[in-house]
Amino acid sequence: MAQQIIQRLCIIGVGLIGGSLARALKKAGVVKEIVGCGRNREQLEVAKTLNVIDAYDTDIQTAVKHCDMVVLAVPLGAMQSVMNQIAPVITNDMIITDVGSAKQSVVDSAMKSFGELPVSFVPAHPIAGTEKSGVEASFAELYENRRVIITPLKTSSKAAISKVTAMWKACGANIVETSVEHHDEILAATSHLPHILAYSLVDTLAKMDERREIFDFAAGGFRDFTRIASSNPKMWHDICLANGDALVKMIEQFSNDLQLLTKAIQSKDSEYLTQIFTRAKQARDDFCND
């Protein structure tokens, strides 16, 4: 039997990410009790009926009471409000972590809410998900062999870092530690930019007069590339605002490269086109084994 590493876990935001975490920890047998928290009582009831959580409460301060681990699985735009509500009841024994896709904004919210960064606060980000949302879409295997980036702060205690790491390892995840700044730069390039491009392409085509015919003739490549444009719009709205500086740099760099590609097509620069496509294919084949 697996050793329990968490006695009472509170997940604030029991959707795809939070729900999958709960399922994975239950499957691993490393948590004694899971309390769900959120504004939508009906969705929390669904989560309880599905046995994703053991209990729930819509009041954050009540939900986190006596918890040794609290996971913030809410949109980035809601982090400040949630932390404000936790602030009056936080203790050094209550480890707080999150799943946000932009870390600096989460750290800034914590500083504003708590006045100082708690020793029990360890930001984190699982690099996993699907284009679906909601607790019904959650599943225990979401984090298996996927990376979880932990961005410990100078104030984070070793005990808190160890417990957050152990939680994600119990889900089958591979742990990577990095700085907040480095995390946001990497994610802007590898996750945030691709999502923005997918949303932008679909929106551009949807505004064309021939959009019905265009989508009728869309092939597999279009579906594969734009699948992520079916992701939660609110979540990606928040990510753009939270990691705006790093994302703008990537958009500008990509725009410059796209302009060069446009000129190459206009001038029928066969050599340039071949170089780009060959280099891109090689890079994709080297780093992605799917």
Regarding whether 229 and 155 lie in a shared domain, the answer is no
Position 92 in a domain: yes
pLDDT averaged over every residue in the chain: 93
Give the residue from 160, 178, 196 where a domain finishes: 178
Could you read off the pLDDT of 76-116 as tens digits, one per residue?
999 999 999 999 999 889 999 999 999 999 999 999 999 99
Nearest in space to 138 (alpha carbons), one of 16, 48, 25: 16
Is residue 166, in this structure, part of any structural domain at all? yes
The domain containing residue 106 runs over which residues? 6-178
Q: Are residues 254 and 278 in the same domain?
A: yes
The residue type at 40: N
Instruction: Identify any residues that bridge with 150 across adjacent strands, giving them in sequence order.
Output: 124, 177
Q: Are residues 204 and 253 in the same domain?
A: yes
Whether 139 and 192 map to the same domain: the answer is no
Q: For residue 205, is it within any domain?
A: yes
CATH code of the domain covering residue 150: 3.40.50.720
Handedness of CA 86, 108, 163, 134 (dihedral sign): positive
Show which of 162, 178, 194 is a domain's final residue: 178
221 and 121 share a domain? no
Report d(CA 183, CA 179) in Å as an integer.
6
Query: Do both 96 and 27 map to the same domain?
Result: yes
Q: What is the pLDDT of residue 44?
A: 96
Tokens of 166: 């152990």
Do both 151 and 187 map to the same domain? Answer: no
Is 1 part of a structural domain of the chain?
A: no
End of a domain among 153, 178, 203? 178
pLDDT of 168-213, one tens digit each?
Answer: 999 999 999 999 999 999 999 999 999 999 999 999 888 886 666 7
Domain total of the chain:
2
268-279: per-residue pLDDT in tens?
A: 999 999 999 999
Q: Give the other-Cβ count within 10 Å of 220's Cβ.
A: 7
In a shared domain, residues 141 and 241 = no
Which CATH number covers residue 236? 1.10.3660.10
Q: Specify whether 91 is located in the same domain as 222.
A: no
Q: What is the mean pLDDT of residues 18-23?
A: 97
